[in-house]
C-alpha cells in the first residue's frame, strides 16, 4: 500500500528528495506523507518531511537532535538601534556565558526538577543525563543553531534562539535506534505498543523537555546580558517556544496517527510557531491553519539550497559580508560561516508564499545581530 504524498513546494524538489519520498511512502505502516517548502536531503529522512503511522515508530524520522526548536521573546526597549560598541560587548559577553559546539557550561549544579525527577529508560542514559545533560544545559551548539536580535515592524526588539537537546538527544536516538526491528527498505522501526517503543517515547518526550529548558536557559542568560549592556528587560508574557524534531500521537480525521516531524513545525489551528530565515534575512512569527493534507505542519525555516560543502566552495567571505550588510555578526569567524551564508538557503519569502495554506503570518522581523558558530 502506497501512502498519499502531499507537497507544499517553493521550488522543484531534487532527485534525492524524490527518491526518499518514494521510499517512505511505501514503508511499512506509513499512512500519510507531506513535504514542506524547506525540504532538503539529510540522511535517511529529509529535513522538512512529515509522516504519519498507525503503529510503528521510526526514530530516524525524528533524528538525533530531538526537540530542536526555536524560542523568541520581546524586550522592553525605547531605543530602536544600538551602537557598534554595544554590539561588541554583547558578542563578548555571550561568547563567555553561552558556550557553543562541544564546550560545556560550568557552574550548573542541578537539572530542573521536571528533568531530574523523570527517569530515562536505561542506566547508561541516566549516566549521560547526570554528566552531559547537566554540563550542556544552556549551550548553543553549532551548524545552523543561532542566537539573534531582531526588530519587528513596530521597531520592538526581539531575541530568537535556535538550539536543541545537544548530546542528550543524540544519546537517546542512538540507544533506541540500535533496538529497532528491521523493516522494509532498511528503515528500522519500533512497535508503539512494545516495551521498546514505550521506552523510546518516554525518552523522546524527556529530550523535548530538555531542549525547551536549554532554550529557556539561554534566553535567561541573554536577558541578563541585555540588561547589563542595553539596560532593557524581557517581557515574559511574549515568550514563544516551538520545536520541529519530534513525534506525537495526533488525531487526523478518522485516524489516530503517530506524526513524525523532522525539520517541520506543528501547525494546528491557531498554534503559535516561529520560522527563521537565514542569518541575513527576515524571520516570521506565525499561527497554524490546521491544514489536513500537511498533517497540521509547516516549514521550520528557509531550508538549505546548498550543502555546507558546496556553500564553502561557492561563497566567499566578501559575498558573506555583502549579504550581512547592516547586521552585526562575528566577522573573525567569517570563513567558516560561509557555510551558513544567506545564499546557502532558499528565499524565505518564497517559502512563506508556498505555505500560505499552512500558516498565517503574525509578525515579520529583520535581523540586527546574529551570533552563530560552525566551530
Provide the grid cell at 70: 526555536
CA-CA-CA-CA torsion sign (156, 162, 168, 169): positive
CB 233 within 8 A of CB 76: yes
Query: Alpha-carbon distance 220 to 213, whole Å?
Result: 10
Q: Is position 300 annotated as part of the catalytic site?
A: yes
Query: Alpha-carbon distance 80 to 225, whole Å?
Result: 18
Q: Which of 300, 319, 325, 332 is an active site residue?
A: 300
CB 205 within 8 A of CB 248: no
Provide the grid cell at 254: 478518522
Provide the grid cell at 354: 508556498
- Per DSSP, 278 falls in state -
Radius of gyration of the chain (CA): 20
CB 215 within 8 A of CB 80: no
Cα–Cα nearest to 126, from 139, 111, 141, 140: 111
Q: Which residues pair with 23 in a beta bridge?
A: none
- Per DSSP, 189 falls in state B
CB 336 within 8 A of CB 375: yes
Q: What is the DSSP string of 203-253?
A: HHHHHHHHHHHHHHHHHHHHHHHHHHHT--EE-GGG-EEEESEEEEEEEET
Catalytic residue positions?
300
Amino acid at each position: 500500500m502506497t501512502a498519499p504524498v502531499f507537497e507544499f513546494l517553493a521550488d522543484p524538489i531534487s532527485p534525492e528528495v524524490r527518491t526518499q519520498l518514494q521510499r517512505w511512502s511505501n514503508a511499512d505502516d506509513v499512512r500519510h506523507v507531506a513535504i514542506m517548502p524547506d525540504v532538503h536531503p539529510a540522511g535517511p529522512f529529509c529535513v522538512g518531511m512529515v509522516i504519519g503511522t498507525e503503529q510503528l515508530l521510526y526514530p530516524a524520522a525524528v533524528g538525533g537532535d530531538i526537540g530542536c526548536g526555536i524560542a523568541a521573546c520581546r524586550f522592553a526597549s525605547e531605543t530602536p538601534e544600538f551602537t557598534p560598541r554595544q554590539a561588541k560587548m554583547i558578542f563578548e559577553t555571550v561568547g563567555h556565558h553561552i558556550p557553543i559546539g562541544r564546550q560545556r557550561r560550568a557552574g550548573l549544579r542541578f537539572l530542573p526538577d521536571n528533568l531530574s525527577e523523570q527517569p530515562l529508560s536505561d542506566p547508561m542514559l541516566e549516566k549521560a543525563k547526570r554528566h552531559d545533560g547537566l554540563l550542556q544545559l544552556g549551550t548553543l551548539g553549532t551548524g545552523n543553531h543561532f542566537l539573534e536580535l531582531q526588530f519587528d515592524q513596530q521597531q520592538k526588539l526581539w531575541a530568537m534562539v535556535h538550539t536543541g537537546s545537544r548530546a542528550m538527544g543524540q544519546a537517546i536516538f542512538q540507544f533506541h535506534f540500535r533496538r529497532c526491528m528491521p523493516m522494509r527498505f532498511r528503515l528500522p522501526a519500533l512497535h508503539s505498543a512494545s516495551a521498546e517503543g514505550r521506552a523510546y517515547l518516554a525518552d523522546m518526550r524527556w529530550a523535548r523537555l530538555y531542549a525547551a529548558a536549554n532554550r529557556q536557559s539561554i534566553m535567561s542568560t541573554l536577558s541578563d546580558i541585555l540588561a547589563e549592556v542595553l539596560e532593557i528587560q524581557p517581557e515574559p508574557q511574549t515568550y514563544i517556544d516551538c520545536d520541529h524534531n519530534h513525534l506525537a500521537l495526533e488525531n487526523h480525521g478518522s485516524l489516530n496517527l503517530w506524526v513524525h516531524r523532522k525539520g517541520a513545525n506543528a501547525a494546528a489551528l491557531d498554534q503559535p510557531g516561529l520560522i527563521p530565515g537565514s542569518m541575513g534575512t527576515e524571520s516570521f512569527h506565525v499561527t497554524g491553519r490546521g491544514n489536513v493534507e500537511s498533517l497540521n505542519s509547516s516549514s521550520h525555516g528557509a531550508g538549505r539550497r546548498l550543502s555546507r560543502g558546496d556553500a564553502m566552495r561557492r561563497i566567499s567571505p566578501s559575498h558573506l559580508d555583502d549579504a550581512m550588510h547592516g547586521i552585526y555578526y562575528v566577522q573573525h569567524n567569517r570563513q567558516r560561516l560561509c557555510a551558513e551564508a544567506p545564499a546557502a538557503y532558499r528565499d524565505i519569502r518564497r517559502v512563506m508564499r508556498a505555505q500560505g495554506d499552512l500558516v498565517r503570518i503574525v509578525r515579520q522581523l529583520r535581523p540586527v545581530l546574529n551570533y552563530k558558530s560552525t566551530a
